[in-house]
Amino acid sequence: MRKLLPLLGLFLAVNAFADLIDTNEPTVSLSKMPWGVLFSLKGTVTNVVADQDKIRFEFHGWFYFRQYSWNGVTNEQVIKMDFRKGASATAKITDFVATVPNVNAAAVRTKEALLPIFKAAEQKQRELTISLDPAKLNFDSQPFIQDARVWRITDWDLH
């Protein structure tokens, strides 16, 4: 009960001054436990288009939220979202890590190699596993994933 009262007070205060707060700002969550969060996609891509320093694409597959405890006290928590019907996304073109499909080998690649991986996956309808660094998630409109940075991606042609 003691833990719920401060949250209730915060909820009431935020709602009382809701007209004064810009709700388009990202939320901040504080936790007593140190957590790490990983966003990842597993599926196919279509409609891949390069737009200046971003790649816009349609994703078909599964989106994962993984929450890790840094101190190993609790187990990994996973939320799996079904996007087999498709969701649009934008990713920044930056350096990344490319892995073979079974993740037995990896290589650090420069940003010039990212678009060809997306294009090859689109043309050959290959399944990609993409791990994203900080991403903005928009549950209200398209694109669902905004301004993500590809941290790791499956490269079927990595030798």
Q: How many CB atoms lie within 10 A of CB 53?
A: 9
What is the model's pLDDT at position 32?
54
Q: State the pTM of this model.
A: 0.72
Cis amide bond preceding 116, omega within 30: no
For the chain, where are the E strands, in sequence order? 35-51, 54-69, 77-92, 96-99, 106-109, 128-132, 136-137, 145-154
Buried b (16+ CB within 10 A) or exposed e, 15-43: eeeeeeeeeeeeeeeeeeeeeeebbbbbb
Inform me whether the pLDDT recorded for 72 exceeds 70.
no
Q: Identify the CATH assignment for 33-154 out of 2.40.50, 1.10.3470, 3.10.20, 1.10.860.
A: 2.40.50
- Measuring CA to CA, how many Å separate 62 from each of 29, 111, 120, 127? 25, 25, 20, 11
Contact 50, 18 (CB under 8 A): no
CB half-sphere exposure, 131, CA atoms < 13 A: 12
pLDDT per position as a tens digit, 85-119:
998 999 999 999 999 888 788 899 999 999 999 99
Q: How many CB atoms lie within 10 A of CB 153?
A: 23
Inform me whether the pLDDT recorded for 128 exceeds 70.
yes
Those residues whose C-beta lies under 8 Å from the C-beta of residue 156, and which sit 6 or more positions away, are: 100, 101, 120, 121, 124, 126
Give me the residues paired with residue 62 across strands.
42, 82
Q: Which of 11-25, 112-126, 143-157 has the lowest mean pLDDT?
A: 11-25
